[in-house]
Amino acid sequence: MDILWTAFVFGLLGSAHCIGMCGPIAVALPGSRDFMRSYVTGRIFYNLGRTVTYILLGGLLGMMGLGIWLAGYQELLSVLTGTGIVLATLLTWKRSWIPGGSVFSGLSVRFEQMMRPLMQHNSQTGMFAIGIINGFLPCGLVYIALAAALASGSLLGGMAYMGLFGIGTIPVMFLMALSPGLLSGNWHLRLQKAIPWLALLVGILLILRGLSLGIPFISPDLAGNGSCH
């Protein structure tokens, strides 16, 4: 997928947003710093769990996109997906990236309830399970990335996009879980301002990609190549 590189950058910059939503969960993870090896390993498993969920969701969306591609609507899928990302970004520019509404709030509460029992036990399996559940929390940032995974039009493309997105979120989330004090200050607020711009870039690239203008890496001839996966 020609815009695969945007996944990691989106995840890295987007982790500034993740601090507000997932940060409290990362800080509340069980474990004692007196056992530093176990403490660090547990947080690695937690972040791996989140990334695995993103990869699975990316594969699911990629498969859905594959069906559309096989039907011969690959260019239309890319244009519509990109347009949707651009419109969603513009409409939420000054608002939270976390979806509101009773449905999303209810889902968040349900997933948090599922995490509580796991928080009582300091085990690597429990940490991994917390990360798996955490990956399903409603998040506008993740939905934007999933839209790009859908436009990949392939199982592996969707998995790769969301895998790189998840890896991009790990550095900040790992530091947040390991030592919240390391991320003090307003740097993440400044970094968060870049997220909508990157979302716009992803949307525009998807639109250009769907137009099949024959521009390498930006707008390849999708009809001529048949497939990019």
In order of 66, 68, 80, 152, 165, the CA distances from 220 in angstroms are: 18, 18, 17, 13, 23
Determine the average pLDDT of the residues in 18-41.
76
| pLDDT, tens digit (0-9, with 9 covering 90-100), for 130-169 | 999 999 988 888 999 999 999 998 999 999 999 999 999 9
Q: Running DSSP on this structure, what letter comes out for residue 183?
A: G
Task: With beta carbons less than 8 A apart as the criterion, state whether 62 and 158 touch.
Answer: yes
* C-alpha atoms less than 13 angstroms from C-alpha of 77 in its C-beta half-sphere: 23
| pLDDT, tens digit (0-9, with 9 covering 90-100), for 33-48 | 667 788 889 889 999 9
* Residue reference for tokens 């347009």: 83
pTM of this structure: 0.83
3-state DSSP: the chain helix, strand, coil percent, rounded to 5?
Answer: 75, 0, 20
* Residues whose CB falls within 8 Å of the CB of residue 101, separated by 6 or more in sequence, listed in order: none
Find, among 58, 36, 4, 24, the residue nearest to 173 by Cα. 24
Find, among 45, 28, 66, 87, the residue nearest to 155 by Cα. 66
Find, among 58, 43, 56, the residue nearest to 161 by Cα. 58
Task: With beta carbons less than 8 A apart as the criterion, state whether 199 and 89 touch.
Answer: yes
